[in-house]
Amino acid sequence: MSLKHCLLAASVAIMWGLNFLAIDLSLAQFPPFLLVALRFALLAIPALLFVPKPDVRARWIIGYGLGFGLLQFLFLYWAMAAGMPAGLASLVLQASGPFTVLLGMTFLREKVRGSQMAFLLLAMAGLAVVGWQRFDSHASFLPFLLTLAGAFGWAIGNICNRQAHTTEPVKLTMWMSVVSPVPMLILSLLVEGPQRVGASFVGLTTSTGLWAIAGLVYTVVIATILGSGIWSWLMSRNPAGVVAPFSMLVPVVGMSAAFIVLGERVSFGELCGAVLVIIGVLGAGVKAAKGARILAAEAVVPVNVEDEAPAPKNGTSADPLMRAGSSRRSPRSSMN
């Protein structure tokens, strides 16, 4: 990846890290499944009305919408509503990095270096440490598993995004949002119930309601349209295994912001696991980038001019046009 692409990936990490605070604010007003439906409905309606469909196969739009949109946020919002702290959720969700690399290796035949796999195993070990710390009770371990399920959904979306090879990332981001609203609204009505759904729209003018709306706007405009649009653009121009590990910067922002704004604390064991995850996935990203540069260098075969054309015999040129040109007398020589 170029420096420009690296900076863009880092900016997306900042947007997505702060997004966990926005989600926490919105969940104080809306139930999780309804919130997912609202998030993507606010994108789907203008997409259908004003945004032309991107030149991408429908299966990749649907796959991206199901993975990145529906599955990721269904499980993430469910986990946070069930008690997963915003900062810790930003860390565990980054299991999408290793998941993306493994799916890319399995389905896209992307090569994984041995050193890269070692770092990925280190990251998974860090997640295991965090999971063990959460295993103190069923109530805290379930949100951890739900967040992991959301990370796997994100990885599926990454692979579909990669396969789309879009040159219109914003259009793709808008159109993938069409997949989620109707299924999530139906699920919300069935699970959360019409009464709870209706009650969530009462009190929107209170401070809680206004902050919830602000969080929803941030999630839709900044995190989804801008952040996901840039992410799609990067994924279409770089190997999935190189881009995905940049998501490991998200928990650095998310956990720091949750500590400063929400006063969230993590245990010493969770902090150790977080360090292992960040080192592992960032290390895997560096190794993947190095491997991509090596493969690109090997693909360039130097051309040897002497091997391309046979050596001239008897001091004459091998090119008949050059021989013809050399036999002609120039106007200047005829004057002499």
Q: Residue written as tokens 């360090």?
A: 275
Low-confidence spans in the chain with pLDDT less than 70? 1, 135-139, 240-241, 244, 285-336
Q: Count structural domains, the chain.
A: 1
Alpha carbon distance 223, 218 (integer Å): 6
| DSSP designation for 219 | I
- The two tokens of residue 216 are 């929803």
The range of the structural domain enclosing residue 275 comes to 3-299
Asked if residue 157 is part of any domain, the answer here is yes
Asked if residue 331 is part of any domain, the answer here is no
Q: How many CB atoms lie within 10 A of CB 158?
A: 28
Per-residue model confidence (pLDDT) at position 267: 79
Per-residue model confidence (pLDDT) at position 176: 92
Q: Residue written as tokens 């051309």?
A: 303
Q: Which of 71-74's residues contact partners 24+ apart within 8 Å by CB, and which partners?
A: 71/149, 71/150, 71/152, 71/153, 71/154, 71/156, 71/157, 72/96, 72/150, 72/151, 72/153, 72/154, 72/157, 73/36, 73/39, 73/150, 73/180, 74/32, 74/33, 74/36, 74/150, 74/153, 74/184, 74/187
Asked if residue 335 is part of any domain, the answer here is no
Asked if residue 249 is part of any domain, the answer here is yes
Reported as a single tens digit per residue, the pLDDT across 92-150 is 888 887 888 888 888 887 777 777 788 888 888 888 888 787 766 555 788 999 999 99
Asked if residue 189 is part of any domain, the answer here is yes
Asked if residue 87 is part of any domain, the answer here is yes
Per-residue model confidence (pLDDT) at position 48: 94
Asked if residue 272 is part of any domain, the answer here is yes
Asked if residue 28 is part of any domain, the answer here is yes
- The two tokens of residue 136 are 């103190």
Per-residue model confidence (pLDDT) at position 131: 77
DSSP 44-88: HHHHHHHSPPPSS-HHHHHHHIIIIIIIHHHHHHHHHHTT--HHH
Alpha carbon distance 109, 199 (integer Å): 49
Q: How many helices (H) and strands (E) does the chain have?
A: 19, 0
Q: Is 189 helix (H, G, I), strand (E, B) or coil?
A: helix
